Structure 1
Amino acid sequence: MSGWKQYLAGVAAAFGAFCLGASIGWSGPVEKEVRGGGAYKFTPSSAEWGWISSLLTLGAAASCIPAGVLIGIFGRKITMLGLAPPFFIGWLLIIFAQKAFMLMIGRFIVGFCGGAFCITAPMYNTEIAELSKRGIMGCFFQLLIVHGVLYGFIVGAYAKVKMMNILCGILPIIFFVLFIWMPESPVYLAQKGKNDKAEKSLKFLRGKDADVSAESNQMASEGNKEKVKPMQALCRKNTLKSLGISMMLMVFQQVTGINAIIFYSTGIFTDAGTGFSPAISTIIIGVVMVIATIVSIMLIDRVGRKILLLVSAALMFVTTLIMAVYFQWLLKKNVGWLPVLAVCVFISGFSFGFGPVPWLLMAELFAEDAKPVAGAIAGTTNWMCAFIVTLAFPLIKDGFGAAACFWIFAAVSFAAIIFVMFLVPETKGKTLNEIQGMIAGGKKD
């Protein structure tokens, strides 16, 4: 297989997303033992546990803009390697926590470091990938996240909290050891005028016998263009249009209800009489996410980004509608199989499109000089929405009932269909310069 080293570098970079996924998957499996006082010398209150669970998303939201600035100054590789030590320190605080505030600080730090990978990994992967492989490699981030979540679910199902903490805490070290051998992004090197190093990076990625002269010359010519300040690049009409599209995709990713569905999934599996324990139910959900994400990656450079988003939004709309009807009118009927089916189809639909594609498009829609800051704003939007939904969902559920939540999710999913159909451009098979021309011309496919 030609150019296999770019896949190796892409997986190594996206292993930071695996670390984030394991951190996301930590809360559910450990909650019972931590809140029951069996994991630490203290027992967090309900309010404290709420903050312990949600501070990861707030930490991730706080990291995106700093990460966007740092990758423009120090490069993609140095920034990602620099995230590993504080990521490990965050897990040390969780492992050796003596008070609830230590858990909170640890969760904020791992969220901060994990959230930074949302910006750095998709950007690095789309920059090192050949055009024909860019879609696949741009989705490595989401693929490794869902594998990390599944890892957290499996380890949490069979290990005590302390062992789970250790098995999650070693992951940033593994990332550092893997990624330190990978090259810097040739796009970044060309932007800094280091054309010889950019060509050397391309030779590593494409294979020593590959002819990289055309690709190297194109990067060099892009790097020689007149430099503009990040805020000037951000204020261009093209950038603002791309930023609006990317931010709305991030909003739809979070506000269509993925976290609520996962929250309800174990209870739905239990109520349906499946006989599955909560631990097995979460593992099933994790497996469904992984399989659907793999299918998406296999299709993304064949059918395109837009089709995957449309199918994904349609499946989420139908299933959240079913969930709303179930909680509104069918809760006491003998149809427990219906929400189980809806949960599995929803998670498949989400993982098929709205899970991976917004992160890929975030790395594709912006010109190189605007990408770090614009991508950081889009990433911050994603995590702020995740934080708000995490806080608002239980309040709406308690105040108006679960049905109200799912009616809202159905409405948002329908809005996502309309948005994707009329406003999201198809980027499959197009160079980054061609994408900029398409956005400027207002064409969508």
Structure 2
Amino acid sequence: MDGHTSPQRKLVPGSDASSDASGAECHSIWKQVLGSVVVATVTLSYSCLLGFGSILLGQLDEPGSTVLVSDRQRPWLMSGAYVGSVIGCVLATFLAKTFGPSRIMFWHTVPNALGWGLQALVPGFWPLLAGRFVCGLACGVCVSSAQIYISETSSPRVRGVLLILPETFATTGLLMCYMLGLLLRWQLVAIICGLVPNLVIFLGFLKLPESPTWLVSKHRLAPAARSLLFFHGSRFEADAQVQQILAGLEQTKMSVRQTLGLMRHADYLRPVLIIALQMTILNFSGINAMFGYAVVIFKLARTGINAYQCAMVLAAVRLLCNLFSTSLIDRLGRRALISISGAFCTISLAVIGAYFFVRQQDEELVQDLHWLPLASMIVTISSYSVGIGPISWVIFGEMLPSSVRELYGSIIIIFWSVTLFTILQVFPDLTRLLGNHGTFWLFSGVCALQVLFACFVIPETRLRTLEDIQHEHFVAKKTEAERGVARTAAL
């Protein structure tokens, strides 16, 4: 029945195709929100790896630590999780297509919990590294599925807000870790991080249906219609939407090799390059490195305030600004918001670099300015969290063509993981090579590039459907590229 349902008859008996879909949508928004919350918990779990790494490095330096690590091992405790993430993203390229995003996110909780258990219960550098690797592997398998699942199950008028939830929950994970690190030893923090998010994800996906696009790709049309009705209400025109998804997928029904071959055409290559470059700027802006090494940075800055409390302030500011960005993203638009964000980050990071530079020359000159690093970092995090951070993930969910979203999404997440691993791994070396001031000036320069990139490259996708985004910005009309797609699919 699922694979051979006729296009002419109703896929779900009793669904009213003639009813007003917008009216039904109003009554079902809460399901989209709850579904997005469960999915966003995946990124909360992932961000706990970054926050926990900061706590771990901070507490291993304290007197009485039972685990000894060398200066060369320390960056690996921070970045080792993202080696696993890269491998997980490679596996996701094949697993997402075979099993579907919902099932992947459901089952990733098992190895993820095991990885946290290894970090909590087995002392020593190598067990810690292995546990972080396993957690990174598990999260890497499903992190791209999270954005895709939300974009495919949400309505256009709330999609921008819901696509910010993963970034908001990622910040919540950081704040949770810093708060726990202030109160508890790292072993107990690892147990909580392994238990709470995984339990929410496991129980949530017992109720949530599979992605309608994935179900259609497997010709399970009736379950796809039921999935759409679950998220959009009983009066949503599910049959028509299923046929529209099916038509789009049938036009480019290809193998992995053929799908990769589409990158020869500008309509497919351009959105991938835009998102990949944005992810590069996202990581090399230094914000994630600042959070990963937050405790260490504040100890070096000698602000006179507890380093964990400073890190908590940053995470709390980031969370509040993430929430504030939901009210701006569909008012100001993606391009304007990310440009303003980049401009403020450029200035505030330059100020932090200047503070470290002056202190290096003569510490007495900044004796009364110990508040400046924390204040400037608050400005940086606020600006980043309103624009660069959330919008990077919004355009990831909006700009990829639906027919290649799973594969290309996994490729971009692989790229994101590689760049994140790189900046976390080389951050200590950068501070030794360029000094603290030079490192922050480098980050400031990257944010200046962000402003130019947003103004001249990133398209505006505010209040557009996924199909409209593709036709307005990447497929203006029937081009040679489309004919090339057809030839590729026929091979």
Answer whether TM exceeds 0.5 for this pair. yes
Match of 2:446 among 406, 412, 431: 412
Question: Greater shift after overlay, 119-128 or 397-406?
Answer: 397-406
1:100 paired residue number: 125
Residue 180 (structure 2) pairs with residue 169 (structure 1): no
Please say if residues 189 and 195 of structure 1, whose CA atoms lie closer than 8 Å, have aligned partners that are also in contact: yes
Aligned residue among 368, 390, 398 for 1:356: 390
Separation in 1, partners of 2:357, 2:476: 42
Superposition map of 1:28-427 within 5 A: 28-36=54-62, 38=64, 40=66, 42-170=67-195, 171-234=197-260, 235=263, 236-262=265-291, 275-329=304-358, 332=363, 333=365, 334-427=368-461
Shift of 1:416: 1.3
Amino acid corresponding to residue 201 of structure 2 in structure 1: F
- Is the aligned partner of 1:19 residue 2:45? yes
Q: How many correspondences in the alignment?
A: 442
Structure 2 length as normaliser, TM-score? 0.84
Letter matched to residue 278 of structure 1: A
Q: 1:340 to 1:99 in 2, by over 3 A?
A: closer
Deviates more, 1:134-143 or 1:215-224: 215-224
The 1:65/1:304 distance shift into structure 2, 3 A limit, reads: farther
For structure 1, which segment, 84-93 or 22-31, has the greater mean C-alpha deviation from structure 2 after superposition? 22-31
Q: Distance in 2 between matches of 1:248 and 1:301?
A: 23
Q: Contact 1:319/1:346 (CA < 8 Å) preserved in 2?
A: yes
CA gap of 1:181–1:38, structure 2 versus 1, over 3 A, is: farther
Q: Aligned to 2:322, what secondary structure does the other structure show?
A: helix
* Contact in 2 for aligned 1:118/1:359 (Cα 8 Å): no
Higher mean Cα deviation, 319-328 or 83-92? 319-328
Cα deviation for residue 345 of structure 1 reads 0.6
Contact 1:256–1:413 (CA under 8 A) maintained in structure 2: yes
Once structures 1 and 2 are overlaid, which stretch shifts more, 175-184 or 294-303?
294-303
Kindly provide the CA deviation profile for residues 392-444 of structure 1, in whole angstroms up to 9, marking residues without a partner as x. 2221211231121122112211111111111111111112222222233579x
1:228–1:369 contact (8 Å) kept in structure 2: no
Note the C-alpha offset of 1:183: 0.7
Q: How much has 1:229 moved relative to structure 2?
A: 2.4
Pairwise CA distance, 1:339: 2.5
Cα offsets for 1:248-293 (capped at 9, x unmatched): 0000001111134336755776788865311211111110110111
Q: Is the 8 A contact 2:78 2:292 kept in 1?
A: no
Superposition deviation, residue 350 in structure 1: 1.2
Contact 1:150/1:287, CA 8 A, preserved across alignment: yes
- Deviation for aligned residue 1:175: 1.5
For residue 195 of structure 1, report the CA deviation from its aligned partner.
Answer: 1.6
Secondary structure of the corresponding residue to residue 290 of structure 2: helix
Structure 1: gaps of 5 or more residues: none
Deviation at 1:33, TM superposition (A): 3.6
* Corresponding residue for residue 5 of structure 2: none
- Quote the Cα distance in structure 2 between the aligned partners of 1:364 and 1:385: 21
Distance 2:227 2:369 in 1: 57
In 1, the alpha carbon distance for the partners of 2:41 and 2:467 equals: 29
Instruction: Give 1:210 deviation, angstroms.
Output: 4.1
Q: Evaluate the alpha carbon distance shift between residue 98 and residue 322 of structure 1 in structure 2; reply closer, same or farther with a 3 A threshold.
A: closer
Inter-partner Cα distance in structure 1 for 2:85 and 2:144: 10
CA RMSD of aligned residues (A): 2.3
Range moving further from structure 2, 27-36 or 47-56: 27-36
Instruction: Report the CA distance between 1:369 and its aligned residue.
Output: 2.2
Determine if contact 1:230/1:370 at 8 Å carries over to the other structure. no
Counterpart residue identity of residue 241, structure 1: R
